[in-house]
Amino acid sequence: MRSSEKTPARRFVTVQRRWHGALVCLVVIAWIAAAPGTAAGFGTIDSGGQHREHERITRAALACDDEVGRDADCFAPRSLDYLAGHDREFGAVGAPDSDELSDPAAHCDDADFLAGGYPRSRDEATAGLLACVTRMRERFSAAVDAAGRLVDERGALLPGEVETGTECRAVEQKEERAKCTVLEMFGRALHGAQDFYAHSNWADEADPTRPIGDENPPGLDLPAPSAVLDLRSGTAPSLPADLTTGCFEVRDEVPGVGSCAGRVTHAALNKDRGLVDPVTGEVSGPTTPRGMVGGNFEKAVDAARDETSRQWRDLRSELVTRYGADRGELMGCALTHDDPVGDCRAGGWSGVGIALAAGVVVGIGLVTAAVLLRRRRGGRPRADS
């Protein structure tokens, strides 16, 4: 539960953060108004045609069904609030839309290609996509590195590094708690992974009523998770010959203009907008042209949700690989639980588990004492003998 009583200092920080969130939202809305098809990807705000798609996909993939994080598979409410975002807070997964809005590598843009007389080569397109994959790998690796600060030299959780009674801030706002840093780096990696499916033709199909070309690139209709997004690997992924994302330009139009003239554009290919149920992941109401073709929006969302789950499994696995089973599992528990010190113990013992074990011990002790007392009374001589 979030405390309803706040000190003056905490109230000041809260007001500051609310103004910062509101300002960022206004900037994003202004950007969208100026360029309706920006490269921001799935939406982060609930305005300007966006419906917090990133947040809702992340929640559908990682939220605990019963709102209690009993293990490291799902996230408890407060921990998920920072990872996914909430209200006016972008959260970790939305962070690239606050400070990397026009960086193609953060959103898997500028990796466009089309066979046959295209203005750029396959190698140039591949370099664009590898820039995005490299960015995600760097963020994933930074999350694993930061997790080392969750525990002390004995392998015990450090309360100051894992408690989030005060909500996490972005790293550039001088956030130093290890849990917050891990979640931000992981969330930024998730943003790129989710945008890969919204901005590429990996999981979609072309409009069958129109000729294939820069305004209607071919679709690959491939499943997720994608081997391209193996963020634990150190080798370059193998890419399908016809894989493409969209060219990024502030004036995002179909056909392309400026540097994107004659090229596949973000506007032609993206599947960014529509409604996503944050519990079930079910979708409705796609609003982009490519998203409205067949089930393209649903395919992009389903793929992004599956990818999000895979990346969390991979992060937990990498923590175990790097830090050992006991520490790695403890780190995973600390990241997902709202009260890590109370809920997580090395070796998998949670607060509930310890309480149950203590109850069993006490019960055994009481039974043993009763048996001994009965035997002692039974061994006394009768008064009338």
Average pLDDT, 10 consecutive residues per value, the chain (385 residues): 39 42 45 46 78 96 73 88 93 93 95 96 98 98 98 97 90 87 98 98 98 98 98 97 95 95 98 97 97 98 98 98 98 97 74 43 51 54 44
Q: What is the pTM of this model?
A: 0.81
Residues 107, 292: Cα–Cα separation, whole Å:
21
How high is the pLDDT of residue 346?
74
How high is the pLDDT of residue 309?
98
Task: Please write the tens of the pLDDT for every residue from 334-358.
Answer: 999 999 999 998 764 444 444 444 4
Residues 175, 55: Cα–Cα separation, whole Å:
21
From the number of C-beta atoms within 10 Å of its C-beta (0-12, 13-18, 19+), residue 173 rates as exposed
How high is the pLDDT of residue 377?
56
Ordered by start, the domain boundaries in the chain are 8-344, 350-378
Measured in degrees and rounded to the nearest 5, phi and psi for residue 284 equal -160, 165
How high is the pLDDT of residue 325?
97
DSSP assignment string, 322-379? HH-HHHHHHHHHHHH-SSHHHH--GGG--HHHHHHHHHHHHHHHHHHHHHHHHHHHHT
How high is the pLDDT of residue 349?
44
- Which tokens belong to 110? 């500028």
- Which tokens belong to 259? 């540097």
DSSP assignment string, 67-100? S---STTSB-HHHHHHHH-BTTB-HHHHTHHHH-
